[in-house]
Structure 1
Amino acid sequence: MAAAGDAFLRARGRTLTAFRPDDECQWKGPFYFIQGADPQFGLMKAWTCGDTDNGDDEWGEEIKLAEQAVQAINKLNPKPKFFVLCGDLVHGMPGTLWRKNQVQDLKNVLKNTDQDIPLVFVSGNHDVGNSPTRETIDDYCKNWGDDYFSFWVGGVFFLVLNSQLFFDSSQCPELKQAQDVWLDEQLAVAEKQKCKHIIVFQHIPLFLSTPDEDHGYFNLEKSVREEIMEKFHKAGIKAVFAGHYHRNAGGSYKGLEMVVSSAIGCQLGEDTHGLRVVVVTEEKLVHRYYSLNELSSQGIEKELLDVLAKQK
Structure 2
Amino acid sequence: MEDSMIDRRSFLRLGAVGGGAVFMSGLYGKAWAQQGGDDFYFVQLSDAHWGYRGPANPEAQNTLRQAVAAVNALPQKPEFIVFTGDLTHSTDDPAERRKRMAEFKQIVAGLEVQQIHFLPGEHDASLDQGAAFQEMFGPTHYSFDHKGVHFIALDNVSDPGARIGEAQLAWLKADLAAQRPDAPIVVLTHRPLFDLEPKWDWATRDGAQAVALLMPYANVTVFYGHIHQEHHRMTGHIAHHAAKSLIFPLPVPGSQAMRTPLPWDPATPGKGLGFREVDAEPRQAAYQITELPVTKG
The residue correspondences of 1:9-48 to structure 2 (distance < 5 A) are 27-43=36-52, 45-46=53-54, 48=56
* Percent identity for Structure 1 against Structure 2: 23
In structure 2, the partner of 1:227 is: 209
In structure 2, the partner of 1:12 is: none
The separation in 1 between residues aligned to 2:225 and 2:86, in whole angstroms, is 8
The separation in 1 between residues aligned to 2:100 and 2:231, in whole angstroms, is 27
Which of the numbers 189, 192, 200 marks the counterpart of 1:205? Answer: 192
The residue correspondences of 1:1-312 to structure 2 (distance < 5 A) are 27-43=36-52, 45-46=53-54, 48=56, 61-93=59-91, 95=93, 98-114=96-112, 116-129=113-126, 136-164=129-157, 168=161, 176-191=165-180, 195=183, 197-207=184-194, 215-221=198-204, 224-269=206-251, 272-281=272-281, 282-283=283-284, 284-294=286-296
The separation in 2 between residues aligned to 1:285 and 1:166, in whole angstroms, is 31
Asked if structure 2 preserves the Cα contact closer than 8 Å seen for 1:167 and 1:220, the reply is no
Question: 1:137 is matched by which residue type in structure 2?
Answer: G
Q: 1:166 to 1:101 in 2, by over 3 A?
A: closer
Report how far residue 41 of structure 1 moved: 1.5
Question: 1:73 is matched by which residue type in structure 2?
Answer: V
Report how far residue 251 of structure 1 moved: 0.7
Report how far residue 201 of structure 1 moved: 0.5
The separation in 1 between residues aligned to 2:121 and 2:156, in whole angstroms, is 7
**Higher strand proportion:** 2
Report how far residue 214 of structure 1 moved: 5.3
The separation in 2 between residues aligned to 1:177 and 1:158, in whole angstroms, is 20
Cα RMSD for the two superposed structures: 2.7
Report how far residue 237 of structure 1 moved: 4.7
Report how far residue 39 of structure 1 moved: 0.3
Q: Which structure has the higher relative contact order (CA within 8 Å, separation 6+)?
A: 2
The runs of 5 or more residues in structure 1 that have no matched partner are 1-25, 49-58, 298-312
Question: 1:181 is matched by which residue type in structure 2?
Answer: A
Asked if structure 1 preserves the Cα contact closer than 8 Å seen for 2:224 and 2:243, the reply is yes
Report how far residue 101 of structure 1 moved: 3.0
The runs of 5 or more residues in structure 2 that have no matched partner are 1-34, 252-261, 263-270
Asked if structure 2 preserves the Cα contact closer than 8 Å seen for 1:163 and 1:203, the reply is yes
Offset from partner CA, 1:74-117 (integer Å, 9 cap, x none) = 23233211111110010023535742332222122111111x43
Asked if structure 1 preserves the Cα contact closer than 8 Å seen for 2:156 and 2:204, the reply is no
SS of the residue 1:234 aligns to: coil
Q: 1:42 to 1:165 in 2, by over 3 A?
A: closer
Q: 1:123 to 1:253 in 2, by over 3 A?
A: same
- Comparing 95-104 with 180-189, which one deviates more in the overlay? 95-104
Question: 1:140 is matched by which residue type in structure 2?
Answer: F
Aligned length: 243
Q: 1:34 to 1:169 in 2, by over 3 A?
A: closer
Q: 1:218 to 1:245 in 2, by over 3 A?
A: farther
TM-score using structure 2 length: 0.73
**Higher helix proportion:** 1
Report how far residue 156 of structure 1 moved: 0.3
Report how far residue 181 of structure 1 moved: 1.7
Q: 1:234 to 1:28 in 2, by over 3 A?
A: closer
Question: 2:165 is matched by which residue type in structure 1?
Answer: K
SS of the residue 2:248 aligns to: coil
Report how far residue 234 of structure 1 moved: 1.6
Offset from partner CA, 1:41-85 (integer Å, 9 cap, x none) = 133x2464xxxxxxxxxx983342111211222232332111111
